[in-house]
Structure 1
Amino acid sequence: MDMTENEQVGIDAFLAENVADTKETKEVKFPRFKQPFVVEAVGADLAENLKKMATRRTKNKAGVITAQTDQDRYVDLLVVNALVTPDVNNAKLQKSWGTPGDPVATIKKMLKIGEYTDLALAVQEVSGFDADEDVDDLREQVKN
């Protein structure tokens, strides 16, 4: 087998059609709710788009444009987009919690701060973040 054939075999394993399309999920149970919350892994492409949505560009006095990511908003967007159950985009659920049209407000109103932190950590874990390194940072972001 020459180098080209060897390279081809290696590349084939990474083609989209040869990669298992499994959605990793995790259940998070809270005693106050009869059913568990279910979160799924967030892909790198979606995470990048969410980060852009949470980033603000401003021009300083010298005319230099700087980008600043609102970490709280980013975590909120990650949680809402990873949440499979319950569907916080559901109008009936939003109406029940008094947060029509606002999925972030819905989940925040539903959960206590500790529960929200646990849910955010579950999203982080199922999405492949190094939970040991980032747990304290994420807890602080969620608390603030």
Structure 2
Amino acid sequence: MLIYFVKVECAALGHLAKEIETFIASEAGNGRLKVERGLLATALEDANAIVGHMINDLMSADASAEGGDLRNIYKVGLNTSRLLMALGDVVCGWLLLRQAEVALQKLDAEPGKDRAFYEGKVAAAQFFAQTNLPRLTAERAIAEGIDLALMDLDEAAF
């Protein structure tokens, strides 16, 4: 049952990743969001790596497999919140950049009284991409370095 759930979730994440990759590869915005698209690409790569690492930990928790250690399931649990936050940042970055792309089109078409609104959309997307997405590289490093030291403590330590 768990393997089925993992396959379904991976398929959904794979579909979303393809949508984001398509956006990253597009040239909309006339290159004005090129830096931010690069940041989104790196963030997506980091999030995908965290997912892959967690799947490896999950699969290595099969005690019946050679070299399997049931305790590796704890590594998955220790990284779950980290993964959810990373995926949330990737999706928010993608959606904000899509909005900025539309805003740039509107700005090119002389938006009149809505100019400030569209400029705000672009600025918000750029700010988010530049200040939040780079953190995912650190989150990936933490996820890949997680060990079972915390789980090895006696319950009395808590």
User: Into which bin does the TM-score normalised by the smaller protein fall?
Assistant: under 0.3
TM-score, normalized by length of structure 2? 0.22
Structure with the bigger RCO (C-alpha within 8 Å, sep 6+) is 2
TM-score, normalized by length of structure 1? 0.24
* Structure with higher strand content: 1
